[in-house]
Structure 1
């Protein structure tokens, strides 16, 4: 008796078989999640250089805006106009340091002493209600805060770190402003061809938004800084020039900057007497009303109307995560994200209209 022919054994694909559609699909999903996790870790470790690059784009938008504005009255090649704007920026920095450097240095020491005394008085008053220890001093609080600051915040807020960061932002901004189309085409080259036209339109909208936002911010800084200085000087408030400079710089930070500058102005004003303190409060109110009811609405009409709560929330989040540099760049980042989302909505609406027309 002969054996029956054996039935051919059909081999099934194993878990390592990459041709299996199920395995390929699961591998794609796992790759997406792994890539997302690596991106989050990379952003956490590369936060400072990424923020410096974003700061370079912000500074480049300022230079580009000045170059375009100069082109309306001076019809010369773009390179020469950019050189004039860059030299004007350098001359402003050098002139400010030379004209006010010694005066600011002397006032800065007096300012530190006055603020320490005023804060000690405020803490003593709060301590009388049992809210904080009665013997606590400002120096102790500063030491605790500095000890609790993270590595990134300490690197950025230190003097050397701040100077290095500023120089890097300026250098990156100069390179981008010199040849913006080169970097735009380089970024578009990494995208599929079908996505390049929408990318160019989105890039143009984001650039226009950032230029207008920074132009309005510079106007606001100038108005607040100069106005505060003149009004405080008229009222006899000590260190008017230093307070005006600090107010102008802090005006770059909407919401939070106004609060900080207001506290500084009022505390220095009351250090010279009640009448001077009341004048300082009036000056702060006048400057903020002009900025809030004239400059900010005009900027909002020209750019994106950002809700104050949204900006403040972004500042708190970016400040907690990335330190003072994140706090300074929170507003431009939110404006850029909103501009990109608005352009994406326009693109999708256009595509839907094109499909519905036939």
Structure 2
């Protein structure tokens, strides 16, 4: 274009113009030793924050673990069906879920028609029997503060009444149960997806060890829950039949409570036995003695035959350890923590054993 000066070509010196020197940031640490210590401190602070978040969200984490436990039940049922039905895993999981829904519907119907009426009568029957026992002790010279004991009994019966009334209605704990059920279905349908996703968050050297540990933990959890379900079924049905033969009041309710409480080892059996005996003595001394015999027969069969047979193939847990975990979890998280304490202890035990074996192999 006319009137414009020709553009000078850029030289290499102009193209290689040195960049302006960067000034150090106030956050930079010049001393390498101090920088390394700061990184370690950041890691520890991050771990403390994660622990704090885990404690703050402990109930949510417990619901997630409950979903994993429910998924283990579904997966165990699917594997059992796979031995007799040569169909795909998806169909087997669907069959297990349909059977579970059908059983739940039967329990709700049965509870609504029969057990709800019996549940309303149970606290009053127990309170009368405890009053008679206190009067007998006082008549024989025992120094018993009747009023204090009765007030404590009323509080306990209030909680028992809440539990038994929940059997007749499906709204008690519905939200938590619904979340556990949905999570369990998701985990059971695609377990490998979630296992691979969690392993991806770990360092590459830890992934193979995690995969192996997770496989063993799943197998142990399935066997543990299978044993619990077998024990629940045997104790509940046997108690119901034996009490019904003699005509013990509320036999159906006592059988259902015995079966449900059998999921809580070391704690559930004494509670169900106490309720059974108290109701039995409401019908006379002979009926009370018969209930004591029924309790010991059922617990003897379950404790000496069923539990040892299944315990050989499941996690060998110390009874005191399980009871301690149940007391702590029950105090912190209520009935949900009490129910999940046993599986949680079993999973921690498997994890620690595999970590110990790995450390021994590396030394």
Q: Point out the more displaced range, 111-120 or 249-258.
A: 111-120
Q: Distance in 1 between matches of 2:185 and 2:56?
A: 26
Q: Is residue 2:121 matched to residue 1:134? A: no
2:166 alignment counterpart: none
Q: Is residue 2:166 matched to residue 1:170? A: no
Please point out which of 39, 44, 50 is paired with 2:50: 39
Q: Alignment partner of 2:147: what SS?
A: coil
Decide whether aligned partners of structure 1 residues 113 and 346 sit closer, same or farther in structure 2, where only a CA change above 3 A counts. same
Pairwise CA distance, 1:267: 0.7
The alignment's TM-score, normalised by the length of structure 1, stands at: 0.85
Query: In 1, are the aligned partners of 2:108 and 2:170 still within 8 Å (CA)?
Result: no
Query: Rg: which structure is higher?
Result: 2
Please point out which of 321, 333, 337 is paired with 2:344: 333
Query: In 2, are the aligned partners of 1:116 and 1:138 still within 8 Å (CA)?
Result: no
Alignment of 1:225-304 (within 5 A): 225-304=236-315
Q: Is residue 2:84 matched to residue 1:73? A: yes
Deviation digits for residues 11-62 of structure 1 (CA, Å, limit 9, x no counterpart): xx9x965242342343344334433433343233212111111110000000
Query: In 2, are the aligned partners of 1:124 and 1:134 still within 8 Å (CA)?
Result: no
Q: Point out the more displaced range, 233-242 or 23-32.
A: 23-32
1:9 alignment counterpart: none
Q: Distance in 1 between matches of 2:342 and 2:149?
A: 35
1:154 alignment counterpart: none
Query: In 2, are the aligned partners of 1:119 and 1:138 still within 8 Å (CA)?
Result: no
Decide whether aligned partners of structure 1 residues 161 and 104 sit closer, same or farther in structure 2, where only a CA change above 3 A counts. closer
2:217 alignment counterpart: 206
Q: Distance in 2 between matches of 1:242 and 1:305?
A: 32
Which runs of structure 1 show a deviation greater than 6 angstroms over 4 or more consecutive aligned residues? 143-146
Deviation digits for residues 277-298 of structure 1 (CA, Å, limit 9, x no counterpart): 1110111101111111111112
Decide whether aligned partners of structure 1 residues 140 and 108 sit closer, same or farther in structure 2, where only a CA change above 3 A counts. closer
Q: Distance in 1 between matches of 2:31 and 2:129?
A: 73
Decide whether aligned partners of structure 1 residues 160 and 236 sit closer, same or farther in structure 2, where only a CA change above 3 A counts. closer
Query: In 1, are the aligned partners of 2:199 and 2:210 still within 8 Å (CA)?
Result: yes
Q: Is residue 2:209 matched to residue 1:195? A: no
Alignment of 1:63-142 (within 5 A): 63-122=74-133, 129-132=142-145, 134=147, 137-138=150-151, 141-142=154-155
Decide whether aligned partners of structure 1 residues 120 and 50 sit closer, same or farther in structure 2, where only a CA change above 3 A counts. farther
2:227 alignment counterpart: 216
Unaligned runs of 5+ in 1: 1-12, 147-157, 353-358
Pairwise CA distance, 1:161: 5.6
Unaligned runs of 5+ in 2: 1-23, 160-168
Query: In 1, are the aligned partners of 2:236 and 2:256 still within 8 Å (CA)?
Result: yes
Decide whether aligned partners of structure 1 residues 131 and 19 sit closer, same or farther in structure 2, where only a CA change above 3 A counts. farther
Query: In 2, are the aligned partners of 1:17 and 1:23 still within 8 Å (CA)?
Result: no
